[in-house]
Amino acid sequence: MSDHGLDLVLVNPGGRERIYQDLGNELTAVEPPLWCRLIGGYARDRGFSLRIIDSEAENWGPASVAARIRELSPRLVAMVVFGHQPSASTQQMVAAGEACRALKEECPDIPVVIVGGHVSALPERTLEEEAVDFACKGEGPVTVVQLLESLAGARPLAEVEGLVWRDEDGKPRINRPAALIQDLQKDLHGDVWDLLPMDRYRAHNWQCFGDLASRKPYASIYTSLGCPYKCTFCCINAPFDVNRYRMRSPEGVVAEIDLLYKTYGVRTYKIIDEMFVLNERHVGAICDLLIERDYDLNIWAYARVDTVKPHMLDRLRRAGFRWLALGIESGSRHVRDGAQKSLKGDDIVSIVREIQKAGISVIGNYIFGLPDDDHASMRETLDLAKELNCEFANFYSAMAYPGSALYATALARGWPLPESWSGYSQHSWDCTPLPTEALPAAEVLKFRDDAFHEYFANSRYLDMVTQRFGWDTRRHIEEMARTRLKRRLVEEMVAAQ
């Protein structure tokens, strides 16, 4: 611990314009950075002083981040590249890399460690390619704190758990991993809200259909870490090395909502968990505590078709859950099975209708370009999306994210991967999804973009939205759908025809 200055600056990299193009200006959410909070709370509990720079929320470029760090002159900078969902870590590496380079040019003597899901998946490559002194393989809090202790002379670098570093010969070394933290409420509470620009955060546009003015104030919180499932396209467990699912106490979760509601007036929330509606006892306890408070919240969370039980829905609705996001992925059972996502079509339709009947809106998540996809199966997926007619839909192209099983498969089979980390963003100019056995990447991407506009221009969808949320929301969606993304792959394909 330092007695003469600041110990730690945690940086959340920005880059919304690279990731979302024009969609990032108003439509996307701006979320509090979860892992900056968790690492920050862990470090502060152990006596270290810190600041958080949320360059995404503040809309600061690399030069501004570097200048601010020079003013703060900390003992250590941690670039935290987790993103707001598992796949976001890789796409944020462009902004993180630029910030690290600017920082090293401005303050070459300040050590930098980079942390995140992408970093854990590719630790040695990250250390080699980025302008950093250290990388972290693991979730980060233990490694960052032990590195601070090492920089103060309290332990050798070789004993910093989870640290990736260069020895005297310049060769990368990976230390033994840090054990996963088990007491989430005690050690990963993330209660450093006072260090964040709380007036900057906003919800997604769709979460506030019918009342777009309620997008602020906004916060995202977690109730569990990890996921017990093994979907081939997901990289959520890259920082943990195992399919470990850890739950936070319901009392701790609701105490955090109490704090945010009473201190910052937050009524609009995201539950960050990759799979919130999973353990019925855990979910039910949180719901019951929220029902007692009657805060009139607007919460959204992730669920699976096979984990949502109809008898749970009334409790969820009364607790303030207004949206559930379902990973439907594909309309083809054969394609779903190949992605380790075995669901029956009738079950999908049935549970969506049960959720909607309970007064909860549904976000359907769909993926085009899974390994077994062809034009017919992708059309099946879009037709299912239009049949379900969920209140909102996300359409993705299949990506081989570092840390996922698809990434290992792509390397083994020699499938082409994006040339830069920005190519892993679903909405970027250079987005480069996987080809399938039947289709090149450009055709997958074009189908995805056309599907987005077909869905949101569909009169059945627009009429449902008008009835549910009003004419202002319909006009908002029509305006949203006028924005067409520019795509390098698609433009090259069209030019070659």
Q: What is the pLDDT of residues 153-181, one digit of tens each?
A: 999 999 999 999 999 888 999 999 999 99
Please state, as a whole number, how many other Cβ atoms lie within 10 Å of the Cβ of residue 476: 20
Structure tokens at 195: 């260090």
Judged by average pLDDT, the poorest of 93-107, 220-234, 245-259, 296-310 is: 220-234
Q: Over 70: is that where the pLDDT of 101 sits? A: yes
Of 404 and 375, more confident: 375
- Cβ–Cβ < 8 Å for 90, 2: no
Would the pTM count as exceeding 0.85?
Answer: yes
CA 199 to each of CA 10, 30, 149, 295: distance values in angstroms, whole numbers, following the listed order: 19, 11, 34, 20
Exposure letters 74-113 (e unless 16+ CB within 10 A, then b) = bbbbbbbbbbbebbbbbbbbbbbbbbbebbbebbeebbbb
Output the pLDDT for position 341: 45
User: Measuring CA to CA, which residue among 55, 63, 18, 17 is closest to residue 36?
Assistant: 55
Output the pLDDT for position 25: 56
pLDDT in tens, 447-474: 999 999 999 999 999 999 999 999 999 9
In which band, very low, low, confident or very high, does the pLDDT at 227 lie, cut at 50, 70 and 90? Answer: confident
- Cβ–Cβ < 8 Å for 162, 142: yes
Exposure letters 319-351 (e unless 16+ CB within 10 A, then b) = bbbbbbbbbbbbbbbebbebbebebeeeebeeb
β pairing state of 361-368 and 392-397: parallel
What percent of the chain is predicted at pLDDT more than 90? 74
Output the pLDDT for position 346: 72
Judged by average pLDDT, the poorest of 67-76, 114-123, 239-248, 473-482 is: 239-248
Output the pLDDT for position 89: 86
What percent of the chain is predicted at pLDDT more than 70? 92
Q: Over 80: is that where the pLDDT of 433 sits? A: yes
Q: How much is the average pLDDT of 298-323?
A: 95
Q: How much is the average pLDDT of 19-35?
A: 72
CA distance 224 to 38: 13
Name, in order, each residue with C-beta under 8 angstroms of 351's C-beta and a sequence gap of 6 or more.
305, 308, 310, 326
CA dihedral 62, 63, 68, 70 (to 10 degrees): 110
- Cβ–Cβ < 8 Å for 370, 328: no
Output the pLDDT for position 332: 73
Q: Over 70: is that where the pLDDT of 1 sits? A: no
Q: Over 60: is that where the pLDDT of 244 sits? A: yes
Output the pLDDT for position 205: 94
β pairing state of 172-174 and 163-166: antiparallel
Peptide bond into 217 cis (omega under 30): yes
Q: How much is the average pLDDT of 290-313?
A: 94
Output the pLDDT for position 330: 78
CA 381 to each of CA 127, 347, 375, 384, 396: distance values in angstroms, whole numbers, following the listed order: 40, 15, 10, 5, 11
Domains in the chain, CATH or no CATH each? 8-174 (3.40.50.280), 202-496 (3.80.30.20)
